[in-house]
Amino acid sequence: MGKRIVSALATAGVLGLAVGGFAVAEHGKGDRGEKRMERAAALDANANGQIERSEIEAGQAARFAAIDTNGDGGLSMAELDAHREAKRAERRARPGSCRGSMRCPISHHPGASTGEHPGRPQR
């Protein structure tokens, strides 16, 4: 049962990325649209303009294998927790990663000396 839930969540996440990426890319929403278009194009392995089931499954298998650190074919809670923490650390290491956080040290953001902050509206 647990493996089915993890598989369903992974499928939903990959499909959400794919569908959202194409939908936003078509409307061209600036940098976000460009990044999503790049992610959608990366999923479209055969470059036919569509993301096919086999492409989704290949991406899922690669992601699953990366999370399954002991290679036993299943994801334990420890592996899922470790993956989540690794992703969280990656996000925190990016410049401007604490957007919207009141605990964000402004000094670590580019443009901090000019008073610009990506997480706060300009007045």
The burial class, CB within 10 Å (0-12 / 13-18 / 19+), for 40 is: buried
Is residue 101's pLDDT more than 80?
Answer: no
Is residue 117's pLDDT more than 50?
Answer: yes
Distance separating the N- and C-terminal Cα atoms of the chain: 51
The residue among 66 and 113 whose pLDDT is bigger is 66
The pLDDT, as a whole number, for residue 57 is: 93
Give the Cα separation of 32 and 25 in Å (integer).
Answer: 8
The pLDDT, as a whole number, for residue 79 is: 97
Q: pLDDT digits over 28-50, tens only?
A: 456 778 888 898 898 888 999 89
The pLDDT, as a whole number, for residue 24 is: 43
The residue among 43 and 113 whose pLDDT is bigger is 43
Give the Cα separation of 16 and 23 in Å (integer).
Answer: 10
Is residue 98's pLDDT more than 80?
Answer: no
Band of pLDDT at residue 115, cut at 50, 70 and 90: low
